[in-house]
A and B are shown apart, each in its own frame.
Chain A
Amino acid sequence: DAGVIQSPRHEVTEMGQEVTLRCKPISGHNSLFWYRQTMMRGLELLIYFNNNVPIDDSGMPEDRFSAKMPNASFSTLKIQPSEPRDSAVYFCASSLGSRNQPQHFGDGTRLSIL
């Protein structure tokens, strides 16, 4: 079975550029989560969707970050304009959406902003 698929795996770009990260959740999962992981701050939840609707975006750092889920099989996380402090590994995860269900993570996008 295909797991959560993220693209690209690595992204290096200059500050000020727009960055778009993509995620395809596991088919049948109705919750999708975007996380950011750094050595300093660990794994932080940015936003999550349930049935394609954003439920909690309190972790989104600022207006430069936006996320969409136009359908059940695709989500994007966009940073515009990007800054060096946005450098991190960004993970997407999906789950069946009820309490106690495991979250299945993709392999992440390693983002470097120069």
Chain B
Amino acid sequence: TQLLEQSPQFLSIQEGENLTVYCNSSSVFSSLQWYRQEPGEGPVLLVTVVTGGEVKKLKRLTFQFGDARKDSSLHITAAQPGDTGLYLCAGNFGNEKLTFGTGTRLTIIP
């Protein structure tokens, strides 16, 4: 069973601060996706990373895929209340199936 551990599990910070959350596995991913989930809704895709060492930016969010394709990070600059939500990484191991991480629940305090 491939397990994806995310850290921290919970994070609460003030508006305007920076933060980084992590996604780690002992297995090599074919690709990795990050999703954000808000209360009462399903997860929504933020980004897909495919190549080891790849960095993708989405406004104030920066996603990095580890060189060995076993880990990934999400960095948020100048966090805003709208960034509040559950952040999920999801690993793909070569087919349509995704294995989701344990999640980081982020709260941005105005």
Contact = CB atoms under 8 A, between A and B. Distances in A.
Contacts of B94: 99
B100 A106 contact: no
Contacts of A105: 41-44
A66 B44 CA distance: 26
A42 interface: yes
Contacts, number: 60
Q: How large is the interface on A (under 10, 10 to 19, 20 to 34, 35 or more residues)?
A: 20 to 34
Contacts of B45: 102-104
Contacts of B90: 103
A43 B35 CA distance: 12
Contacts of A93: 42
- Main secondary structure, interface of A, reads strand
A97 B96 contact: yes
Contact of B30 (A99, A103, A108): A99
Interface of B: 30-31, 33, 40-45, 48, 50, 88, 90, 92, 94-103
Interface of A: 4, 31, 33, 35, 42-45, 48, 50, 55-56, 91, 93, 95, 97-108
Of all A-B residue pairs in the complex, the 6 with the closest CB atoms, nearest first, are A105-B42, A102-B45, A43-B100, A100-B31, A31-B96, A91-B42
Given A100-B31, A104-B45, 10 more contacts: A42-B100, A42-B103, A43-B88, A43-B103, A91-B42, A93-B42, A98-B96, A103-B90, A105-B42, A108-B41
